[in-house]
């Protein structure tokens, strides 16, 4: 009976850990996607392929999506307690600031700044950005 209970507890905690790992992986992929989106929009605008109007509204939409992702990470204490989750949360903050800086650069028609900021964006689970 004790063995069965112990096995069940180990199984449940393994399942829970796997679930948390999966959630962190999804957050990481989502943030990577949004970082890539930011780079793609910035490159398209700086390269003259899209208007400043599109770049601004697309970056604002991306900013909203990053904010939603950050809220999802921050909304679960167990995720924030995990060092990987805490790092992702900080990187989401950094990404939001970077997007805001790029929006400013677009407003000032400063393609060089936009490209520079966008090219330095990186989301990794074990490392802080820039």
User: Which of 69/82 has CB closer to other proteins?
Assistant: 69
Distances (CA, A) of 28 to 22, 84, 101, 111: 10, 9, 22, 28
**3-state SS assignment for residue 127:** strand
Nearest distance from residue 113's CB to other proteins, in Å?
Answer: 20
Of residues 7 and 61, the one with the C-beta less far from other proteins: 61
- Measured distance CA(67)–CA(64) in Å, rounded: 5
CB of 54 to other proteins, least distance (A): 5
Nearest distance in Å: CB 109, other proteins: 15
Classify 49 as helix, strand or coil. coil
Query: Which DSSP state fits 123?
Result: -
Residues in the chain: 130
Q: Which is nearer to other proteins, 45 or 117 (CB)?
A: 45
Report the interface residues with other proteins, using CB under 8 A.
29-30, 32-34, 36-37, 39-41, 44, 48-51, 53-54, 56-58, 61-62, 65
């Amino acid at each position: 009976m004790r063995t069965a209970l112990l096995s069940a507890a180990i199984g449940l905690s393994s399942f829970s850990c796997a679930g948390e790992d999966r959630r962190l992986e999804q957050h990481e992929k989502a943030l990577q996607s949004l970082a890539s989106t930011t780079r793609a929009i910035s490159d398209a605008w700086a390269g003259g392929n899209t208007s400043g109007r599109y770049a601004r509204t697309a970056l604002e939409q991306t900013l909203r999506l990053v904010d939603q992702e950050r809220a999802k990470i921050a909304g679960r204490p167990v995720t924030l307690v995990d060092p990987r989750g805490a790092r992702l949360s900080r990187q989401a903050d950094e990404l939001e600031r970077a997007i805001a800086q790029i929006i400013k650069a677009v407003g000032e028609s400063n393609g060089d700044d936009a490209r520079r900021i966008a090219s330095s964006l990186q989301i990794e689970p074990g490392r802080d950005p820039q």
